[in-house]
Structure 1
Amino acid sequence: MARTPVFLALLSLVVVASALATTADARKMVGVYVLKKGDFSVKITNWGATIMSIVFPDSKGNLGDVVLGKDTLAEYVNDTSYFGPLTGRVAQRMARGRFVLDGKVYHTYINDGRNAIHGGHRGFSKVIWTVKEYVGGGDSPHITLYYRSFDGEQGFPGDLDVYATYSLSSPYVLSIRTNATALNKATPVNFLQHTYWNLGGKGSGNILGHTLQLFASRYTPMDDELLPSSGRVVPVAGTPYDFRTPTPIGARIRQVTGSNKVFGYDINYVVDGEGMRKVAVARDGASGRALEFWANQPAMQLYTGNYLNGTKGKGGEVYQQYGGFALETQGYPDAVNHPEFPSQTLRLGQVYKHDMLIKFSF
């Protein structure tokens, strides 16, 4: 869910500096890292812990990239659509950028109308992560990224140590493991991974024909600012939000409106069950590609690229509305302002863990 303007300069200096840096220093510069296992490959940058591409075959053996994104690092720095990053310290929207924790009022950076989104204008998606470990090939290709979020960053309390590990396993499985530790103060924490998927690959058009199944029988209704202001959790049965059986994404999309009366899904689901479990399955009939998404979080946002509108993408592509969809596993949005929701407050001595597993097939 996209849409926050950020203009950061001097990326070219960072990239040039990385070429001149020592090995240790280079790990703190912006770079591109490829994980490869046979004909399955994932490209990642430590700018925002961002997934830049995922390539694997279709049913005819043709390789294709199923992730929307940009061509250059400079374009990712100035990206306003959140193509592929890890967002935090608190992802999704926070009402008025304000919350109360242990009797103290905190104000975070407002960057979405009257509210905050995805951690502020310089959230985790807009910082350089340190490369702690990188193995590009072999039996276990992986990269581990680290970020120290400082006390007061974007208005959030306390220092926070954050790790994100992306790894490949066979056959065609991407694992994403994130964790965070509050070092000196309690703080709200809620990460999400914001990749846009189009399983048809480059030039395949929109995703309205993809079938989607969500293992979620409830959702949180949103107001005109896409906030769960009522605090209600209601059944999907009998609504356009019901994807409990495989359904084309476009089947009922004209019955759903988000902010600015734009048609499309931008809604939080409450995932059935607990712990690591299957949360979604998506399939593109034309290419035969499919993904199965597993996660350990209580909720998940479905976003259907409603605000992509002539957005410049990779390889000369122009992404139009519904050009991709995102499955964003998460805690309940704005939970810090809703005591009726499961808490997203991380206390001293606790470790936040958000694990995802994506199984691809064709």
Structure 2
Amino acid sequence: MEKNHISHFTTDSIAKLFGALPDGTAVHSYTLTNSKGLEVTFITYGAAISSLLVTGKDGVKTDVVLGFDSVEGYLASYTVPSPPYFGAVIGRYAGRIANAAFTIDGQQYNLDKNHNENTLHGGHLGFCRVVWQVKEVKQEADNASITFEYTSPDGDQHFPGELVTQVTYTLTPDNEIKIDYKAQSSRDTVINLTQHSYFNLDGHKGNVLTQQLMVNTPAILEITEDGIPTGKYIKAADKGFDFTSPAGCPASIDNSFALTDASAPAVTLESESTGLKMTVYTDQPSVHIYVGGNCFGQVKGKEDAEYHANSGICFETQNYPDAPNHTNFPNAILRKGETYTQKTIWKFEQL
């Protein structure tokens, strides 16, 4: 593996040892800032965001994402029955694939089963559980970015093709974090990438239920009891998830909202307590919103936080779950020689 490269915009001191995997592989952290006081720490394990400090009212900084202080915390979180995937890039395929199988041009591929009979978030050893290379880091007052790269070998978790993926996080002068994904495969394959941070605008030790959520669509995907899309669209209001106007965050949700306008905000989240507002933009057809889970009470977060089911909310911007198995869903096949791209923006403002 080639050495991490840091551009001339920075010094080597920006890379800090975060810990090591059981096999001795080093995990490093990188902290970037912008002129608005945004301060984000990334780790090479899972290309994850472990800390995201945003300046709210009265100039107070709030860490708005859940995470761990050590590599050991991240490793331990993947041993519980329902891993939280804190802050990580998810691949090769975010969400569920029914019966752990899909077909391309008549060829069936049987995947790693890690969620009953289905595949979830790429299998047992998805992109969230590998160490990514850092290809470039830039840190100037109004130009801060970091690019991670990972090469997934042909047959990884039984997906076809060697897949080379890059994810670039950019901190902008407008207090945004732009996430740009790019991937190419040596064979026809399927792909669906996302970012799995849990947000809490009251701080990672808080509770999201008092925060106001708005989602720019009335439609969600109908799913089975196992969370697999049926192929039909239904009204979110029919399931108690009408967020077309601001409403309190739900105590439990694990649903994909169907988006139709990439130029409009997909999601907004507001906290009266800290005076913070978060807006999500994406070019993807869906935002999967997740609150809850059954891992809490089993994992203790950074700063000794006692995380619970309502500690954070996820906005997983992505293609539809199980899209390879539904002809009426957006295309999820990446052909050899083509380039997969995806863009998501998180914008932070003061109310």
Q: By the TM > 0.5 criterion, same fold?
A: yes
What pairs up with 1:294-305 in 2 under 5 angstroms?
Answer: 294-305=281-292
> 2: distance between equivalents of 1:77 and 1:223?
30
Aligned to 2:228: 227
Q: Equivalent residue for 1:356? A: 344
Mapping 1:52-67, distance limit 5 Å: 52-67=50-65
Please list, as runs of the form range in 1=range in 2, the aligned pairs for 1:11-50 lying within 5 A after superposition. Answer: 11=21, 14=24, 29-38=26-35, 39-50=37-48
Contact 1:34 1:136 in 2 (8 A): no
Deviation at 1:338, TM superposition (A): 1.2
Rounded Cα–Cα distance in structure 2 between residues aligned with 1:168 and 1:61: 19
Moved more, 131-140 or 320-329: 131-140
Q: State the distance in 2 between where 1:355 and 1:92 align.
A: 18
1:317–1:146 Cα change, 3 Å: same
Q: Does 1:197 align with 2:199?
A: yes
- Is the Cα contact below 8 Å between 2:90 and 2:195 reproduced in 1? yes
Q: How much does 1:305 deviate?
A: 2.6
1:108 maps to 111
CA distance in 1, matches of 2:331, 2:107: 17
- Give the secondary-structure state (helix, strand or coil) at the position aligned to 2:73: helix
> How far, CA to CA, are the matches of 1:277 and 1:144 in structure 2?
26
Shift of 1:330: 0.6
Secondary structure of the corresponding residue to residue 141 of structure 1: strand
What does 1:320-339 align with in structure 2 at a 5 Å threshold? 320-339=308-327
2:197, 2:219 → 1: CA distance? 23
Write the distance in 2 (CA, Å) between the matches of 1:86 and 1:31: 16
Instruction: Specify the SS of the correspondent of 2:135.
Output: strand
Contact kept, 8 Å, 2:204 with 2:311, in 1: the verdict is no
Cα distance, 1:281 vs. partner?
0.4
1:144 paired with 2:141, answer: no
1:101 Cα deviation from its structure 2 partner: 1.3
Shift of 1:135: 2.0
Q: Secondary structure of the residue that 2:310 maps to in structure 1?
A: coil
Overall identity of the aligned pairs, in %: 32
Distance in 2 (alpha carbons) for counterparts of 1:342 and 1:165: 24
Paired AA for residue 249 in structure 1: C
In structure 1, C-alpha distance between the alignment counterparts of 2:255 and 2:65, rounded to whole Å: 21
**Whole-Å separation in 1 of the counterparts to 2:313 and 2:281:** 16
Written as runs of structure 1 = structure 2, the 5 A alignment for 1:303-314 is 303-310=290-297, 311-314=299-302
Instruction: Give the corresponding residue for 2:66.
Output: 68
2:148 is matched by which residue type in structure 1? L
Shift of 1:163: 0.5
Deviations 1:205-236 (A, max 9, x none): x11111011011211011111111x2101233
Instruction: Indicate whether 1:291 and 2:278 are aligned.
Output: yes
Which has the larger displacement, 121-130 or 237-246?
A: 237-246
One-letter amino acid of the counterpart of residue 68, structure 2? K
Contact 2:205–2:306 (Cα < 8 Å) also in 1: no
Count of matched residue positions in the alignment of Structure 1 and Structure 2: 325
TM-score calculated relative to the size of structure 1: 0.86
Runs of 4+ more than 6 Å apart: none
